């Protein structure tokens, strides 16, 4: 089975490369091709068509996205090009070959006014440009393609790239006092767990399963950014990544203004994806320890 992954150096694509590479059966069963942005412009239909003709994929995984949430408020056209038009081009190319697309979306398609975890069928209401363009990307996939697995995820972190966990550890090496937002709640997601679940879904598709639709995949428990930061600092200090345990204070979102409005509550329910595809939700605390271990190795 030829698997085309759109993206190569982002968190999820890097985690997918690691998961696929560590499983001998994956290398025997599938051929994985990772397409970096330098090779593919998803907003250019011809570029997409040429890549598909060269790789001849049996399934496509789209990890590419414009994810700079605050910059998107100004770079609207660029966010639309990648997150909406790119999805349209990929969906049309997949439809032409009659192959499925696994597309990664976000919790930011929701307003954040819930008090209980969002289910996939609940009303969307993006509060910022990034969330809106990701929502429009979902609509393009569903318009042009019948075989799709849209996976909304949230608060993704890993050993790769720029993310909240690595940023906090880096800052704690040169700063001893922090203010972190405590009124935004979500479920952190370890990219390695999401990658492993995508591999399992692809194996199921290869075996003939066709559970098409929208799904949610994130950590099995929710927390605030403040509590998440406390967990990061505690483990980093315990395992000698930082010399001192920083002082951290909870603040309200209004005291930390950003260009883009964030959902106040964006925890999502994993029940549908675990029931239909039999994958496990992300254990983000174990994932956090894996990132800490990798950081220690890199010192």
Express each pLDDT in 152-163 by its tens digit. 999 999 999 999
Kindly state whether residue 232 falls inside one of the protein's structural domains: no
Q: What is the per-residue pLDDT for 279?
A: 97
The share of the chain scoring above pLDDT 90, in percent, equals 94
- Of 118, 130, 135, 226, catalytic: 130
Q: What is the per-residue pLDDT for 78?
A: 98
- pLDDT over 80 at 219, yes or no: yes
Kindly state whether residue 108 falls inside one of the protein's structural domains: yes
- pLDDT over 90 at 247, yes or no: yes
Tens-digit pLDDT profile for residues 125-154: 999 999 999 999 999 999 999 999 999 999
Kindly state whether residue 293 falls inside one of the protein's structural domains: no
Kindly state whether residue 71 falls inside one of the protein's structural domains: yes
Q: What is the per-residue pLDDT for 28?
A: 72
Is residue 118 annotated as a catalytic residue, yes or no?
no
Kindly state whether residue 135 falls inside one of the protein's structural domains: yes
Q: Convert the chain into a string of H (helix), E (strand) and C (coil).
A: CEEEEECCCCHHHHHHHHHHHHCHHHHHHCEEEEECCCCCCCCCHHHHHHHHHHHCCCEEEECCCCCCCCHHHCCHHHHHHHHHHHHHHHHHHHHHHCCCEEEEEEHHHCCCCCCCCECCCCCCCCCCHHHHHHHHHHHHHHHHCCCEEEEEECCEECCCCCCHHHHHHHHHCCCCEEEEECCCEECCEEHHHHHHHHHHHHHHHHCCCCCCEEEECCECCCEEHHHHHHHHHHHHHHCCCCCCCCEEEEECHHHCCCCCCCCCECCECCHHHHHHHCCCCECHHHHHHHHHHHHHHHC
Tens-digit pLDDT profile for residues 163-193: 999 999 999 999 999 999 999 999 999 999 9
Kindly state whether residue 193 falls inside one of the protein's structural domains: yes
Q: What is the per-residue pLDDT for 56?
A: 97
Arithmetic mean of pLDDT, 66-84? 98
Arithmetic mean of pLDDT, 223-243? 96
Arithmetic mean of pLDDT, 69-73? 98
Range of the domain at 73: 2-162+189-220+267-282
Kindly state whether residue 254 falls inside one of the protein's structural domains: no
Q: What is the per-residue pLDDT for 22?
A: 78
Domain CATH code at residue 116 = 3.40.50.720
- pLDDT over 80 at 27, yes or no: no
The domain tally of the chain equals 1
Q: What is the per-residue pLDDT for 71?
A: 98
Kindly state whether residue 181 falls inside one of the protein's structural domains: no
């Amino acid at each position: 089975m030829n698997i085309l992954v759109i993206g190569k150096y982002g968190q999820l694509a890097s985690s997918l490369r690691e998961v696929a590479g560590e499983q001998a059966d994956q290398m025997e069963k599938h051929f994985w091709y990772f397409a970096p942005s330098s090779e593919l412009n998803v907003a250019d239909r011809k570029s997409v068509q040429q890549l598909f003709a060269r790789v001849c994929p049996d399934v496509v995984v789209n990890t590419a996205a414009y994810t700079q949430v605050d910059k998107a408020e100004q770079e609207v056209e660029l966010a639309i090009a990648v997150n909406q038009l790119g999805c349209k081009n990929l969906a049309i190319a997949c439809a032409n070959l009659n192959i499925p697309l696994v597309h990664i979306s976000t919790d930011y398609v929701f307003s954040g006014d819930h008090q209980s975890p969002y289910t996939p069928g609940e009303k969307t209401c993006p509060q910022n440009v990034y969330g809106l363009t990701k929502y429009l990307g979902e609509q393009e996939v569903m318009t042009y393609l019948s075989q799709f697995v849209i996976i909304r995820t949230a608060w993704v972190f890993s050993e790769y790239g720029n993310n909240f966990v690595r940023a906090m550890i880096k800052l704690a090496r040169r700063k001893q006092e922090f203010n972190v937002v405590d009124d935004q709640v979500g479920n952190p997601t370890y990219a390695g767990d999401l990658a492993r679940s995508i591999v399992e879904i692809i194996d199921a598709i290869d075996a003939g399963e066709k559970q098409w639709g929208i799904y949610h995949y994130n950590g099995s428990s929710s927390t605030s950014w403040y509590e998440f930061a406390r967990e990061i600092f505690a483990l980093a200090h315990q395992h000698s990544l930082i010399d001192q345990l920083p002082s951290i204070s909870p603040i309200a979102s209004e005291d930390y203004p950003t260009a883009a409005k964030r959902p106040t509550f964006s925890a999502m329910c994993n029940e549908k994806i675990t029931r239909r595809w039999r994958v496990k939700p992300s254990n983000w605390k174990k994932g956090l320890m894996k990132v800490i271990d990798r950081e220690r190795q890199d010192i």
